Structure 1
Amino acid sequence: MYPVYTPIGKEVKCEERPVLFPPQHQHRQPGFESIMVPRPIAENPHYAAAGKLRGKTAIITGGDSGIGRAVAYAFAKEGANVTIVYLDEHEDALETQRRVRDIGAGCLLAPGDVRSSAFAEEVVQRTLQTFGGVDILVNNAAYQPFQPTIATLSDEQLETTFRTNMFAYVYFARAAVPFMKRGSAIINTASIVAYAGNKDLLDYTATKGANVAFTRSLALQLVDAGIRVNAVAPGPVWTPLTVATFPAERMKEFGLQTPMKRAAQPYEIAPAYVYLASDDSSYVTGQTIHVNGGMAAGS
């Protein structure tokens, strides 16, 4: 039995219970948060902001839902304006934008395909024009196909996975770095699978390993410029990408493999990004923070 925040109307109630999700599957990635049952929880009602990102601007890929949405809300509460990059989940993106603005921060929506280097450059330029700078980049958008055998892993899928999960990280970093100042931060979303592996997510797992290596190498390259580069490696998290990846029946046991016997809610991952984006982590670069319910490499 573990403490879990669950939505009760507009309030959030803390209960102790094992978490079992109802069977469900979405047939298109990255998925729609608005139709999930239950909806992911993007905000902790007890979060105490301290102005750690006041006056800064962040670009968050995959920021319309899931972990990206939770990060956008936390950044906004800490005083940052945000650019939300997403594919075409307009309803989710508009909901995120409304909440960010309600919090009191600026929010620019940037729909498009992160696999395009030209799109990455466009997003950075729009952010500069709207907010006057780029201080934080969160590479978070992902493609995660369920593929239980290498025999049916197509060239097309392999390329799509790497272009979304790895090439895009390079594209956005390359576009943003020339405009970043000392004290800026890049945060890449890795995964527990980079360390533990996952037999049903072969190509996705390979990209997450690449994310970790890219983080360490780019951190070394940018350290003299005063730009820190780190990563967050979540364990199982209740997001649209989850239900757009696995067969419906797998949802009933999603997250139970962790020592905490449950998946995370997105709001539980967001504080790690706040830490890495703020001056609290001024002596941290090239590192990966593991937020995974107690999972270990090889588990």
Structure 2
Amino acid sequence: MAPDQSTPTDPTTQHPRSQPEQSIPHPGLEGQMDPPPDYGQDTYRGSGRLTGKRALITGGDSGIGRAVALAYAREGADVVIVHLPEEQADADETVALVEAAGRKGVSVPGDLREEEFCRQVVQRTVDELGGLDVLVNNAAYQMAVGGIEDLSTEQLLRTYTTNVFATFWLCKAAVPHLQPGSSIINTVSIQAYQPSPSLLDYASTKAALVNFTKNLAQELGEKGVRVNCVAPGPIWTPLIPATMPAEQVGSFGSETPLGRAGQPAELAPAYVFLASQESSYITGERIGVTGGMPMP
């Protein structure tokens, strides 16, 4: 049996140190990747840390979102995931994993660039699960460009609406339902601190979300609602081969001190911690999961 997430292991050899050069159609499915990501299906062991919680996770069909959905379910939470309609196959697999853990799982296809859909998905979560305790704003769009002259207004609007506006809309809709002890967790990125010119629009949205996290945490603190963020480094998800040049995919993650890309399963414990009572005095903070890449 594979070791669980608490078994001491050499982090430099725990996962593959490279992957073949590859390109897959956007938005990308897990089954198209070589090798497939590790989202904890064989290794994550729950211990009841989120028993009875009700979570809404955007981008929950694959990658980091799937790993978080799986971990939350194994920790005792019911889960609603949001995804694009073309990602239904991955979403069905994630829901099956949640249900296999004995929890309720619901998938909601749609486009977070529509404010009304953001309102609807929060209300559906409350209706399906009986309330909302944890909101994970994880869905994001990125597409590498050659430079600012190649960045179309269409792409700029898509990136900001998906990454920033949707987060505002979802939080606005969720706050009236969140009781003391609830959590909002935003996925940011090392790109907020070490931006790549080819990801100019994406990186700037993540910087905006770091600021948003710190700001909203101040507003909601008196309500007993905590707001934090997780900043991944290079993580092996469908977003990578679906949005980056194939030659960059092959060396993805090799620049980290640990010498490899991270796996979604290595992110999930941070999201569990921030959703649990163990982080009761932490709000407005960022947890970096970057393989050693420094962030100021």
TM-score, normalized by the shorter chain, greater than 0.5: yes
Q: Which amino acid aligns with 2:18?
A: L
> What residue is the counterpart of 2:157 in the other structure?
159
> What residue is the counterpart of 1:149 in the other structure?
147
Q: Is the 8 A contact 1:26 1:244 kept in 2?
A: yes
> What residue is the counterpart of 2:77 in the other structure?
80
Q: Give the counterpart of 2:61 among 61, 64, 68.
A: 64
Q: Is the 8 A contact 1:222 1:228 kept in 2?
A: yes
Q: Which amino acid aligns with 1:49?
A: G
Q: Quote the offset at 1:297 in angstroms.
A: 3.1
> What residue is the counterpart of 2:37 in the other structure?
40
> What residue is the counterpart of 2:8 in the other structure?
none
Tell me if 1:123 matches 2:124: no
Mind listing any 5+ residue stretches in structure 1 that lack a counterpart?
Answer: 6-13
- Secondary structure of the corresponding residue to residue 95 of structure 2: helix
Please give the alpha-carbon distance, in whole angstroms, between the structure 2 residues aligned to 1:82 and 1:185. Answer: 14
Q: Give the counterpart of 2:240 among 231, 239, 242.
A: 242
Runs of 4+ in 1 over 3 A off after TM superposition: 14-18, 44-48
Q: Quote the offset at 1:268 in angstroms.
A: 0.2
Tell me if 1:187 matches 2:185: yes
Please give the alpha-carbon distance, in whole angstroms, between the structure 1 residues aligned to 2:239 and 2:173. Answer: 26
Q: Which amino acid aligns with 2:122?
A: V
Q: Quote the offset at 1:164 in angstroms.
A: 0.4
The number of aligned residues is: 286
Structure-2 change in CA distance of 1:183 and 1:39 (3 Å): same
Q: Which amino acid aligns with 1:32?
A: L
Q: Quote the offset at 1:49 in angstroms.
A: 1.8
Select between 183-192 and 16-25 the one with higher mean Cα deviation.
16-25
Mind listing any 5+ residue stretches in structure 2 that lack a counterpart?
Answer: 4-11
Please give the alpha-carbon distance, in whole angstroms, between the structure 1 residues aligned to 2:142 and 2:232. Answer: 14
- Could you give the per-residue CA deviations for residues 83-140 of structure 1, whole angstroms, max 9, x where no partner exists? 0100120100001111110011100111000111111111111111111000000000
Structure-2 change in CA distance of 1:244 and 1:82 (3 Å): same
Q: Is the 8 A contact 1:34 1:91 kept in 2?
A: no
**C-alpha RMSD of the superposition:** 1.6
Q: Quick one: percent identity of the two aligned structures?
A: 51
When normalised by structure 2's length, the TM-score is 0.93
Q: Quote the offset at 1:48 in angstroms.
A: 3.4
Please give the alpha-carbon distance, in whole angstroms, between the structure 2 residues aligned to 1:143 and 1:229. Answer: 22
Q: Give the counterpart of 1:132 among 126, 130, 133.
A: 130
Q: Is the 8 A contact 2:62 2:91 kept in 1?
A: yes
Matched ranges for 1:172-183 at <5 A: 172-183=170-181
Please give the alpha-carbon distance, in whole angstroms, between the structure 1 residues aligned to 2:199 and 2:137. Answer: 20
When normalised by structure 1's length, the TM-score is 0.92
- Could you give the per-residue CA deviations for residues 212-239 of structure 1, whole angstroms, max 9, x where no partner exists? 0000000001000000000000000000
